[in-house]
Amino acid sequence: MTSSAPEPATVAGRPVVELTGVSKTYEDVAALCGADLLIRRGELLAIVGPSGSGKSTMLNIMGTLDRPSAGRVRIDGHDVADLTDRELSALRADTIGFVFQQFHLAFGVPALDSVADGLLYSGRPRGERRRLAERALRRVGLGHRLYHEPHQLSGGEKQRVAIARAVLGDPPLLLADEPTGALDSRSGAVVIELLHELHEAGTTVVVITHDRDIAATLPREVRLKDGRIEHDSLTADGSPAPYVSQDALVPQEALR
């Protein structure tokens, strides 16, 4: 019998990532084996596993930075196999924001310009790029650090600058690769809370991490081992795993 209960909000959107039987082989090494994964708009999830489990390979494929050896990849409805490299670049620019463990901020460049440079090839005039960058920095709580250079920012602030750059064009999909890996626990807690806030504002957020504690705070957990998906906490009826608030895991003063 079909249930009349409404579909959970976290899985209600249309697919933004679809992997069907995706494998990736480098010479004789199988980095990813027959992965099937569906991520809908509005989800917040972790892809978790130890080093060598296939996380980075899956990130590169979801981010269209690499093509699979076998299987089908669809990003926001587009079959990656049908796109040229130029079309893939355009898809990335419009659809995907990346946050990496290393902040990739140029020495001597103020936060405002570091973020504005994310639109350098968009054709927008410099004044508009900087206005959008300021809005993005205020969105991540750095309105008071617009003209600070990287050496004047804490690790957590640097990561927030990187997140502001990633969400500058309001991409529907944010891929965060070990976003707390270079941070202390307090700064890491603030970054995870920020990712929650971006998700609540409508961004689909995928956190790639080796940290099971971080994964446990997110509504959905996909575990990789030896290149295979060994567990997906999304149940057969589409219900997400219970949400665990980050507030329950870290002191409140860490979030200020």
- Per-position DSSP letters for 125-171, written without gaps between them: -HHHHHHHHHHHHHHTT-TT-TT--GGGS-HHHHHHHHHHHHTTT--
pLDDT given at position 244: 43
The answer to whether the beta carbons of residues 237 and 247 sit under 8 Å apart is: no
Grouping H, G, I as helix, E, B as strand and the rest as coil, residue 15 is strand
- Tell me what pLDDT residue 235 has: 53
H or E stretch covering 23: strand 15-26
Level-2 CATH architecture, domain 9-237: 3-Layer(aba) Sandwich (3.40)
Distance CA 31, CA 216 (A): 25
pLDDT means over runs of 10, the chain (256 residues): 37 83 92 95 95 94 95 95 92 91 91 90 85 93 95 94 91 94 88 92 94 92 94 65 42 39
pLDDT score recorded for residue 12 = 54
Domain ranges of the chain: 9-237
Enter the pTM of the model: 0.83
Q: Residue 119: what pLDDT?
A: 84
